[in-house]
Amino acid sequence: MACSRPPAASSCRRWPGCSPSTPGSGSRSPSWRWSRRCRSCAWAGSTSSSATSTTATPRPRPAGLAFTPLLEEPLLLVLPAGHPFAAPGGAVPLAALRDEVWASSAAGTGHHASVVGTCRELGGYEPDLRHRSNDADVQLELVRTAGAVALMPALTLPAADPGLAVSSVAEGVVRRRLVVATREGRPGPALRTVLATVDRQGRSLAGAAPAAPSSGSSGAPGPR
């Protein structure tokens, strides 16, 4: 079902077994079709983890589009402030979260694939993805109020939130790579201006984004 933010969180408090699904801005394949149709640009990402091996979840890349790297950022574990692993003391073992209820984006999105792939490779289990929303704010609210855990890009996290505890993954570094997709060929003047602005902002965020907080609530506001 599709829910707005407050009902989604409150329904999970009343009925812990529910699986709300809320509409939002998940990175689905139609963004590529939008890029081709409007002769403009779109953003998408892929995820990789560095442990004993490297796994990536690349998005399909249709012909006729050019892809330019924009930004790499960490994916961080987000836990309720009262969680046993929320206390200061370093990275959280993903394997220790096997029995937790998870929040992620909807099936078919890059974020959903990232959560599933990371839990499988680094944790050795299939996550219980009981809550699904393409809105990062909804996922964070589910962590605060429904006791879910999440694996979120650093740019989606608030600078400080007493209801959240943010930590890195103990088994390896998990990162998201953002790219800009444009039609092949030389872009027009307006699009060149947009891309130059996006590139500058990406470089600025790359220097300001948190690497891997070990405890507390930290991060940088940014796009979902």
- 115-126, pLDDT tens digit by residue? 999 999 999 999
Residue 126 lies inside a defined structural domain of this protein: yes
User: In the chain, what is the greatest distance between 2 CA atoms, to the nearest angstrom?
Assistant: 54
- Percentage of the chain lying above the pLDDT 90 cut: 37
Phi, psi (degrees; rounded to nearest 5) at 56: -125, 150
Residue 181 lies inside a defined structural domain of this protein: yes
Position 22 scores a pLDDT of 43
Residue 221 lies inside a defined structural domain of this protein: no
Residue 213 lies inside a defined structural domain of this protein: no
Position 57 scores a pLDDT of 54
Total count of domains within the chain: 1
Q: Are the CB atoms for 136 and 46 separated by under 8 Å?
A: no
pLDDT > 70? residue 81: yes
Distance from C-alpha of 169 to C-alpha of 41, rounded to nearest angstrom: 32
Q: Which residues pair with 138 in a beta bridge?
A: none
Q: Are the CB atoms for 124 and 130 separated by under 8 Å?
A: no
